[in-house]
Amino acid sequence: MTLKETKEIPLYIKVNPQDNVAIIVNPRGLPKGTVFPCGLTLEDYVPQGHKVTLTDLALNQPIIRYGEVIGYAQEQIKKGSWVKESLVKLPTPPELDELPLANNVPDPLPPIEGYTFLGYRNSNGSAGIKNILGITTSVQCVAGVLDYAVNQIKKEILPNYPNVHDVVAINHTYGCGVAINAPEAVIPIRTIQNIATHPNFGGEVMVVGLGCEKLAPGRLVPDGDQERIVSLQDQHGFINMIGMIMNMAEERLKTLNERQREICPVSDLVVGLQCGGSDAFSGVTANPAVGFAADLLVRAGATVLFSEVTEVRDAVHLLTPRAINEEVGRALIHEMKWYDDYLQRGEADRSANPSPGNKKGGLSNVVEKSLGSIVKSGTTPINGVVPPGEKANQKGLLFAATPASDFVCGTLQLASGMHLQVFTTGRGTPYGLAMAPVIKVSTRNALKEQWQDLIDVNAGQIATGDATIEDVGWELFHFIIDVASGHKQTWAEHWGLHNDLALFNPAPVT
């Protein structure tokens, strides 16, 4: 194939009128000497997604993107130059004790009515979007046995229960060799408890335990019901263990198979938002489109979780004013403080985020990444804060405090009751979850073209002017409803791509 000699129109995106930098849109970047229609001439080659200065910058002059300071010039930078990461001095994060609380609460957006999906009504009033048998474990020791049993169940029993989608082993690394009574152990423990009772599992809790572990299996089933537990040390040999697990699973499959989809209002949905492999386009294409869809979900009465403390921290001064009241504002600050301490204890280097891939994609530092990341939260008030691993019990936009790590965030959002996740990516990741669909949204056309069969929604068209933020936001909203109803599948579901659950355990391992 030969590349066609076409004269490309040089294109940059300036997000806010106050910005003194813009990012280059053209896929191969633009060479030195390129002249833009506005007269700006490039002093350097600038790669796609990287920043160009729109004015001369003096030493220490603020560099402004999204209308906010993302850093300070390390040296004089001439108009039209490539603003490399090394030229941007990192600003200090906002002081948590001086943040304004609930002083700029957005007016509620007009409700949108009549949107429904086909879900499974649970006896506790919640709804599921999948009909899955989840088999929880109390300790990693049993994982091999459970995997063996699940394989057998899928081969021999599941085909007899066509209304059940899957059997999923909830394996994890917790349960023993841990300081189970340490104050912070509540986080991994409640995460496992809440995943065991996830709405996609229809209340059919079942636990496989070993017998001598620190995390007693009884803590993972409602009312400590021993009928729901298979304890391996009580069985005579491997074959019996597998038989016990299969029998107990079949009893539950019979009940689950009776479940039928019924019309549920969109207000029953809990949608998680996340990003991974971000680039400089994340904040101008995919994340704003997700923000628009988040607003639509909130307007339809749903619950929307946004997360990733380390990617929110440097833009938290833009969030605390949006808290619905001072109490929620204080809860947000509490989670930030807890995380600051946690990172300090581990002597974490703030410049370690963004990742090398983020930097290659044009993100200079965590401030720029944060400003692009919080756009996902849309424009509605922040109604509540969910501590890590707790169940979300409110409607509207909630901040679920999780690390930014894709798998840890995904696991904690599942514990909070997330039915499906919307995941924006610029660099590309094939990430998926066994318990809940993950909708992948690309920030650039090139990624969608490269990963045709992994990306569900392409927001790259926004950068080239082929679609608006609203267009892609509505497309995503309808896709969410179709996936929730089982009418459409995400690519990760189609290929069966599942990452491991990854618990957040800030307590000691012994």
Residue 276 makes contact with Ca ion by CB under 5 A: yes
Q: Look up residue 8 and give its DSSP letter.
A: P
Q: Which is nearer to Ca ion, 137 or 373 (CB)?
A: 373
Strand order in the sheet with 51-53: 12-13, 21-24, 51-53
Whether the Cβ atoms of residue 452 and residue 287 lie closer than 8 Å to each other: no
- Taking CB under 5 A as the binding criterion, the range among 115-123, 264-272, 406-414, 467-475 that sits at the site for Ca ion is 406-414
Cβ pair 119, 302 in contact under 8 A: no
199 scored as a contact of Ca ion (CB under 5 A):
no
- C-alpha Rg value of the chain to the nearest Å: 24
Q: In whole angstroms, how close is the CB of 307 to Ca ion at the nearest point? A: 8
- Minimum distance between the CB of residue 405 and Ca ion, rounded to whole angstroms? 6
Among 206, 404, 408, 447, the residue binding Ca ion under the rule CB under 5 A is 404
Only one of the segments 236-244, 276-284, 375-383, 483-491 lies at the binding site for Ca ion (rule: CB under 5 A); that segment is 276-284
For Ca ion, which is the closer residue by CB, 174 or 306? Answer: 306
Cα(499)–Cα(396) distance, integer angstroms? 28
Task: Give min distance, CB of 311 to Ca ion, in A.
Answer: 7
User: In the bound complex, what is the minimum distance in angstroms from residue 87's beta carbon to Ca ion?
Assistant: 27
406 binds Ca ion (CB under 5 A): yes
DSSP conformation class of 285:
T
- Least Å from the CB of residue 373 to Ca ion: 9
Which one of the spans 98-106, 186-194, 275-283, 293-301 is the region binding Ca ion (CB under 5 A)? 275-283
Lay out the site mask for Ca ion across 14-43 (x = CB under 5 A, - = otherwise): ------------------------------
Judged by beta carbon, residue 295 or residue 406, the one nearer Ca ion is 406
Q: Which residues have a Cβ under 8 Å from the Cβ of 497 and sit 6 or more positions away?
A: 430, 431, 432, 491
User: Which residue, 364 or 424, is less far from Ca ion as judged by CB?
Assistant: 424
Q: Does 314 bind Ca ion (CB under 5 A)?
A: no
Instruction: Map residues 205-234 to x or -, x wherever contact with Ca ion holds by CB under 5 A.
Output: ------------------------------
The b-or-e profile of 73-94 (16+ CB within 10 A means b, else e) is bbeebeebbbbbbebbbbbebb
Rank residues 128 and 276 by Cβ distance to Ca ion and give the closer one.
276
Stretch that binds Ca ion, among 179-187, 268-276, 437-445, 485-493 (CB under 5 A): 268-276
Q: State yes or no: cis peptide before 47, omega within 30 of 0.
A: no
Of the two residues 30 and 294, which places its CB atom closer to Ca ion in the complex?
294
- In single-letter form, the type of residue at position 505 comes to N
Q: How far apart are CA 319 and CA 272, in angstroms?
A: 18
- CB 308 to Ca ion: min, Å: 5
For Ca ion, the closer of residues 266 and 401 by Cβ is 401
Does the footprint of Ca ion cover residue 335 (CB under 5 A)?
Answer: no
We find the least distance from the C-beta atom of residue 436 to Ca ion, in angstroms, to be 15
Smallest distance from Ca ion to CB 441, Å: 13
Asked if 414 and 431 count as a contact pair (C-beta separation under 8 A), the reply is no
Q: What DSSP designation does 466 have?
A: S
Task: Give 404 or 422: the residue with its C-beta nearer to Ca ion.
Answer: 404
CB 295, min distance to Ca ion, A? 21
CB 277, min distance to Ca ion, A: 8
Neighbours of 473 (CB within 10 A): 24
Per-residue tokens: 90: 């990192």
Ranges of beta strands (E only) in 333-471 are: 382-386, 396-400, 420-425, 438-442, 457-458
- Name the phi and psi angles at 284, rounded to 5: -115, -15
Residue closer to Ca ion, measured from CB, 82 or 431:
431
The two structure tokens encoding residue 293: 């869809």
> For Ca ion, how many residues bind (rule: CB under 5 A)?
3
Q: In this structure, what are the phi and psi dihedrals at residue 21, rounded to the nearest 5 degrees?
A: -135, 155
List of residues 6+ apart from 171 with CB closer than 8 A: 137, 140, 143, 146, 147, 500, 501
Copy the structure tokens of residue 88.
């941007």
Footprint of Ca ion (CB under 5 A): 276, 404, 406
